């Protein structure tokens, strides 16, 4: 899998901003991507060292639209821990 297929987008929320202060960054990733592929993609894309990768499946939300219930698809996110001293400039100043 190519880097751009593995990493979909960075997640910028209040919680992910607090995690970035401790050297952890959050990305939405492809459902089929493994931890190893996520690690290699982050290292190659941002030229940083990755220590650990945690993967979480986020369940889809169920909403009512009139009489029907509609469920959004589930997606996968990865929390990437970088080596001490490494930073990703994409998240700075957000």
Task: Say what the pLDDT of residue 1 is.
Answer: 80
In a domain, 68, yes or no: yes
Start-end of H helices in 1-94: 3-6, 14-20, 35-46
In a domain, 54, yes or no: yes
Q: Note the pTM of the prediction, 2 decimals.
A: 0.87
In a domain, 41, yes or no: yes
In a domain, 24, yes or no: yes
Task: Say what the pLDDT of residue 92 is.
Answer: 63
In a domain, 23, yes or no: yes
Of the candidates 60, 59, 58, 53, the one whose C-alpha atom is nearest the C-alpha of residue 78 is 53
In a domain, 92, yes or no: no
In a domain, 32, yes or no: yes
What is the total count of domains within the chain?
1
DSSP the chain: --HHHHEEEE---HHHHHHHTTTEEEEEE-TT--HHHHHHHHHHHH---EEEEEEEEEPPPEEEETTEEEEPPPEEEEEEEEPTT---GGGTT-
CATH number of the domain to which 32 belongs? 3.30.70.330
pLDDT tens digits, one per residue of 38-91: 999 999 999 999 999 999 999 999 999 999 999 999 999 999 999 999 998 875
Domain that holds residue 16: 3-85
In a domain, 91, yes or no: no
């Amino acid at each position: 899998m190519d880097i751009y297929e593995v990493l979909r987008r960075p997640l910028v929320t209040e919680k992910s901003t607090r995690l970035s202060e401790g050297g952890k960054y959050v990305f939405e990733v492809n459902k089929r991507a493994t931890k190893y592929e996520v690690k290699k993609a982050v290292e190659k894309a941002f030229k940083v060292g990755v220590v650990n990768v945690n993967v979480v499946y986020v369940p889809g939300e169920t909403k009512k639209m009139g009489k029907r219930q509609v469920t959004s698809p589930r997606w996968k996110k990865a929390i990437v821990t970088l080596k001490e001293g490494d930073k990703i400039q994409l998240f700075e100043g957000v």
